[in-house]
Chain A
Amino acid sequence: MHDDQKTLEPNESVHMTDSATTGVNTEGGPPKMTARHVDVFYGDKQAINDVSIDVNMDSVTAFIGPSGCGKSTFLRCMNRMNDTIPIARVTGDITLEGEDIYAPKMDVVQLRARVGMVFQKPNPFPKSIYDNIAYGPRIHGLATGKEELDEIVESSLQRAGLWGEVKDRLQDSGTALSGGQQQRLCIARAIAVDPEVILMDEPCSALDPIATAKIEELIHELRGKYAIVIVTHNMQQAARVSQKTAFFHLGTLVEYGETTDIFTNPREEKTRDYITGRYG
């Protein structure tokens, strides 16, 4: 349910000081994305309860928490993927560079081009590697000719660290790659439309440790070029790849802060319990 009194202007965020239970950042430049008092309902069931958070350009933000805590649900609000679920309802404000992404004038197609997403299970299209990468640029008309498209495909694959492995077989099916390669292909596919934010929903949960290490390395390299938000239930992974960590529990944001603080000196009892493995 939406409570008008709770609504804040995104600009107010800078002046907020209570950053223990909200994810509002108090330092640095303006945040890339902000969320204020977001509630999500699936039918009558409330999945997210009053979450406020800022996502910065220069850091990787990790969402951690036990299964069913709403971290993926919240992530899917950030590029409006919850729109595809008829019974889902989102209230509150989420902005991208100060623009309300749920405003009627916001085109969801353009929003998703700016906020890309990588899913839990690698989901390459049953097309060639080339066509997988070229998919986004084609539908958004990013390339004017074949050469330009080739360039986008090559640079995206290079940035995803996959070029060396697939450059000789661009016409092979994307589904013929290994799981880890498929996931990097999906990251390359997301990069190809030159997004500002990349959302990753447990991108390594279906991968083996070596493939996981490669994805984590890739996240390091992509940091700074894109604002990255990663949902993970692997706490070591959150500690390794992120600079900011948000801990979700039962649909609420329990704690948000520097990753090092969260893991070494959490403010909340619940966070400490989760980090030390008492539940989750």
Chain B
Amino acid sequence: MTGATLLFLIIGLGLVAWFFGRLKAAGMQSGGKHSRSALHSLPNYHGWYVALWAILPAAIFLAVWSFASPALITDAALTSPAAAQLPQDAFARAAILSEARAIASGNQVNAFNPLSQSMVEPYRDAIAYYQMIGAVAALLMVFACGVYAWLQIKPDLRARTKIERVTMLVLLLASLIAIVTTVGIFLSLVFETARFFSMVSPIDFLFGTEWNPKAVAGPRGETGFGAIPLFWGTVFIGAIIAMIVAIPLGLMSAIYLTQYAPAKFRSWMKPILEVLAGVPTVVYGYFAALTVAPALRDFAVSIGISNASSESALAAGAVMGIMIIPFVSSMADDSIAAVPSAMRDGSLAMGATQSETIKKVLIPAALPGVVGGVLLAVSRAIGETMIVVMAAGLAANMTANPFSSVTTVTTQIVQLLTGDQEFDSPKTLAAFALGLVLFIVTLLLNLIALRVVKKYREAYE
């Protein structure tokens, strides 16, 4: 019996359990049609109570079993006579065993190593044996727990309360998964980064100005892992050029939408802007690489900048800025709309014009929210990958010339991890260190931004 069949069987049995639980509870409902039921909970809740008892313990058991059984299977297979021919070397042994297991479970057709072939049969037996044990145990649990729960059904059983609690636990589990995953990612980054720093000094990495990663250190011990040019490129494209484009345009569009636009125009313009935020960044990347970059280069050459690159920082930054506009606009829109209308009325009643009111009262009052939005936008821009991979260059230049090519942290991570790589060379591990820096910086930016926004919200509530 395969895992999927077993799972469906258990769920089917759960439905049966639901039916019987409900039936029993319904039978206890005494009195006339409109009299108050003797049951504490509705029959449905009793049905769910029995069904959950039938399904959950068995499901948990199966989950644990699927982790525990591989080791048991291997142990069992090793007791077979064929195992005696296996080499003593742990590495060779593991390779043969994993090959045999793959063939036995049908994931691989032919053995590369003839020794594996002899182990397939013991493996197949062991797998079948332990699968049978697991299935039988699970089904027994379904019956035992289901019957136990069914016997529990009494008029005063607080089935509803218990179901509510299970619901709460399920929701809690769901919310924990995201957090636990994030923590896991962070930890894996930290460990890989620690390995990297055991090969390259953190000082050289964080403050070095030469980025030219090599797998082996050069003659003077230089490794070329100075990440400053990457940090500069990231800031230059994501925090400077993109923001020069996005902040004024986003802010002005928010002001127009909140203050001037007729309600009808606003009601379809705002959703459109928000949809724009969902355009895949690879599309923006094409636009940057194929349209904007060549046009900018030609323009730069025409005004006499001969060394203009076709992978200019300006092209990537400007397109990224356009990508960020809906983001900034939407945040600014929310903060301006959150300024109490009393503030606006107060200013208008003083005889201020609409633009004076916006300039002198609304924007200053909304500023913390706008700043928070901008910080979130920056954190998005510096983590943005696709546009810069397509449109920004690979040359790690330290330059403030927007027509020349710079590279960013995300571009280099992609670069370092593309192709066949050994996972113990500093060149590959550097990607994790860069990722960690990016992770920490964006995390801090988000934290600050959320605090600023929250503080400001409280001021008007």
Interface set of A (CB-CB < 8 Å, partner B): 79, 81, 84, 86, 109-113, 116-117, 119, 121, 123-127, 135-136, 139-140, 175, 186, 189-190, 193
Residues of A within 8 A of B353 (CB): 109, 139
- Mask, B327-371, CB within 8 Å of A = 1, is 000000000000010111111111111001000110011000000
Interface set of B (CB-CB < 8 Å, partner A): 262-263, 340, 342-353, 356, 360-361, 364-365, 459
**Pair A125/B349 contact, Cβ less than 8 Å:** no
Residues of B within 8 A of A123 (CB): 340, 342-343, 345-346
Give chain B nearest CB distance to A161 CB in angstroms: 20
CA distance A84 to B344 in the complex (A): 10
CA distance A193 to B344 in the complex (A): 17
28 contacts between A and B (CB under 8 A): A79-B349, A81-B349, A84-B344, A86-B262, A86-B263, A109-B352, A113-B351, A119-B342, A119-B346, A123-B340, A123-B343, A123-B346, A125-B346, A125-B347, A125-B361, A126-B365, A126-B459, A127-B364, A135-B347, A135-B360, A136-B351, A139-B350, A139-B351, A139-B356, A139-B360, A186-B346, A189-B350, A193-B350
| Secondary structure of the B contact surface, majority rule | helix
Q: How many pairs of residues, A versus B, come closer than 8 Å at their CB atoms?
A: 68
Choice from A84, A175, A190 contacting B350 with Cβ under 8 Å = A190
| 8 cross-chain pairs, A with B, having the tightest CB-CB distances, nearest first | A113-B351, A117-B349, A112-B351, A123-B342, A123-B346, A136-B350, A109-B351, A126-B365
- Residue from A109, A110, A193 whose CB has the most chain B CB atoms within 10 Å: A109
Residues of A within 8 A of B343 (CB): 123, 125-126
CA distance A119 to B347 in the complex (A): 11
> A113 with B350: in contact, given A86-B263, A119-B342 (CB under 8 Å)?
yes
Q: Which residue of chain A lies nearest to B349 when distances are taken between CB atoms in the complex?
A: A117
Residues of B within 8 A of A121 (CB): 342
Residues of B within 8 A of A81 (CB): 345, 348-349
Q: Which residue of chain A lies nearest to B263 when distances are taken between CB atoms in the complex?
A: A86
Q: Which residue of chain B lies nearest to A137 when distances are taken between CB atoms in the complex?
A: B350
Residues of B within 8 A of A175 (CB): 459
Residues of A within 8 A of B346 (CB): 119, 123-125, 186, 189
Residues of A within 8 A of B345 (CB): 81, 84, 119, 123
CA distance A112 to B351 in the complex (A): 5
